[in-house]
Amino acid sequence: MSDFHTHSFFSDGVLLPSELIRRAVVAGYGVIAVTDHAGPGNLEEVLGQLARECEVARNHWPIVALPGVELTHVPPGSIAELARRARSAGAAVVVVHGETIAEPVEPGTNSAAIDAEDVDILAHPGLITSEEAERAAQRGCFIEISARKSHAYANGHVSSVVRAAGGRLLLNSDCHEPGDLLSSRFQRLVLLGAGIPEREHATILTENPRELLARALPRLRGAS
């Protein structure tokens, strides 16, 4: 199993990155990205901390732990530059906090994230449009199906629009607490609840994560 969107207490999660990663190992995960909330003021600091935590975890446990950030409630016009800064600071995965219907995210955030070449994942994009989904598919930006309670409200819409556009979907937990990590069974239930038939689950749970991991691994500091 894999999860490319989780939070530690370096932002609003409750666990040390090391405990979050350890719990993921015990839960059967092979890949986890720790993507704490970041903006212009804390981006480099957060990534420096996460890079050290993830490196130790990779060296001692059977899991690929990736440092990343979730650019959260930042002005759409700043997203491309902040994503570039994140990449320069060592982010293996860059997530943008999309236009969830549960929060007052600025309109235009989805579009800016899709167009920013250093953004890997648009998380919980709410009422994403068909045109945005088509652009995401063309660029190879992954779109998230969220297992987080409030953000999951639009999963049915997201899955329908993105699949119709031929886009790449990922299922992530948006974990903030120990109980948020997903079992294999619950992953599949979330996808079924989003209207995604079983025949498409392998693409979302295995093939798309493998593609993103192949992008992320060369970005790790010291990777050969």
CATH number at residue 195: 3.20.20.140
Structure tokens at 70: 């979730």
- Cβ-proximal residues to 74 (8 Å cutoff; 6+ apart), any chain: 39, 40, 82
How far apart are alpha carbons 69 and 124 in whole angstroms? 15
Task: Name the token pair of 165.
Answer: 């556009």
Asked whether 105 and 71 are in contact (CB, 8 A), the reply is no
93-97: strand order across its sheet:
2-6, 31-38, 64-71, 93-97, 121-123, 142-146, 168-172
Q: Do the domain assignments include residue 144?
A: yes
Report the SS3 class of residue 1. Answer: coil
- Position 218 scores a pLDDT of 97
Residues in the chain: 224
pLDDT at 223: 58
Residue 142 belongs to what H/E stretch?
strand 142-146
User: Would you give per-residue pLDDT tens digits along the chain (224 residues)?
Assistant: 999 999 999 998 889 999 999 999 999 999 999 999 999 999 999 999 999 999 999 999 999 999 999 999 999 999 999 999 999 999 999 999 999 999 999 999 999 999 999 999 999 999 999 999 999 999 999 999 999 999 999 999 999 999 999 999 999 999 999 999 999 999 999 999 999 999 999 999 999 999 999 999 999 975 54
Q: Is residue 104 part of a domain?
A: yes
Q: How many domains does the chain have?
A: 1
pTM of the model as a whole: 0.96
- Comparing CA positions, the residue from 71, 156, 80, 133 lying closest to residue 105 is 71
Q: For residue 65, what is the enclosing H or E element?
A: strand 64-71
Domain-embedded: residue 224 = no
Question: What pLDDT does residue 224 have?
Answer: 44
- Is position 223 within any domain? no
Is 207 inside a domain boundary?
Answer: yes
Structural tokens at position 83: 């994503």
**Helix ranges (DSSP H) in the chain:** 17-27, 43-60, 79-88, 109-115, 130-139, 155-164, 184-193, 201-202, 208-216
Contact 44, 89 (CB under 8 A): yes
Range of the domain at 73: 2-218
Give domain status of residue 63, yes or no.
Answer: yes
Q: Is residue 17 part of a domain?
A: yes
Residue 12: the pLDDT is 86
Question: Residue 191: what pLDDT?
Answer: 99
